[in-house]
Amino acid sequence: MVNLQDWVGREECAEDVITPRLVREFSAALDRDDASLLGIHWCLAPAAVGTATLGPDGHPARGDFLPPVELPRRMWAGGALTFHDDLQPGDAITRRSRIAAVRHKHGRTGELCFVAVDHEIHTERGLAIIERQDIVYREAASGPAELAVPAPGHEPQWRQQMQAGPVLLFRYSALTFNGHRIHYDRPYATQVEHYPGLVVHGPLQATWLLSFAAQCGGQRPSSFTFRGLSPLIDSEPFSLNARPAEDGLELWVQTDTGIRTMQALAAF
């Protein structure tokens, strides 16, 4: 862990353009019929490395920008967004990223390593989005994970029923150039990482909740925080849920069996 701390403060810069094709494909994959680009920043400037340099899970090999954490399972744990401007079709964006923290701990499921990354996304008009991205690395699974227990919670004021199939997961992986095999390679997901099926992307769930917050609140949130609670599997029917909170909306993704897979807060 002493060596991993050397990565704190490391920076990188990436550039991209919100092309008409990306807008069309983003809207088509998510079945959007409006002009909202909320969440499209997760499709911009992905790490594009050669196939030969990928790890066995389909992720780029570690030790370049992200620290070389030896724990094999990498997941998006959550994050926070602050919006200063809306991204628009045709925008040329610059994303400046910095490793903010590396923390090691032991949890109920074993050894964990959390890496926090700060991003700033700029357009020609100036700062558009500030993001904190939380990544968690975990030990390899030796067998099926314990089933999550439904937790009691408040009833939503708004609910939208959803379903995420393998075609959607494949298309979103393509949009984000995400090679992580748990999202499209069912034998790998079930036999190697011991999930019950394909895993729905964390940013995809966050995109749904972010758009749902804008729909329920009547405007784009000024800030949005979210945290993954449990894997969402492609065969599970689920819903987006929202209720008023003190400063905005409390939102969550919940399976029809009562398992919350992601929770969020949106402020306006």
Q: Is the pLDDT of residue 33 over 80?
A: no
Range of the domain at 69: 4-267
Name the residue with tokens 């095999």.
181
- Total domains, the chain: 1
pLDDT bucket at 150, cuts 50 / 70 / 90: confident
**How large a percentage of the chain has pLDDT more than 70?**
95
Name the residue with tokens 């744990």.
77
CATH number at residue 64: 3.10.129.10
- Among the listed residues 79, 81, 83, the one whose alpha carbon sits nearest the alpha carbon of residue 126: 83
- Among the listed residues 1, 98, 4, 79, the one whose alpha carbon sits nearest the alpha carbon of residue 41: 79
**How large a percentage of the chain has pLDDT more than 90?**
74
Least confidently predicted of 27-36, 72-81, 158-167, 191-200: 27-36
Residue by residue, DSSP assigns 46-62 as -----GGGB-TTSSBPS
- Segment 64-72 shows an average pLDDT of 86
Residues 182/199, Cβ–Cβ less than 8 Å: yes
pLDDT bucket at 102, cuts 50 / 70 / 90: very high
Residue that wins the pLDDT comparison between 86 and 74: 86
DSSP E strand stretches across the chain? 11-17, 73-83, 92-107, 110-123, 126-138, 158-162, 223-228, 238-245, 248-255, 260-267
pLDDT bucket at 166, cuts 50 / 70 / 90: very high
Average pLDDT in the chain: 92
- Segment 150-175 shows an average pLDDT of 92
Q: Is the pLDDT of residue 153 over 80?
A: no
- Segment 138-160 shows an average pLDDT of 78
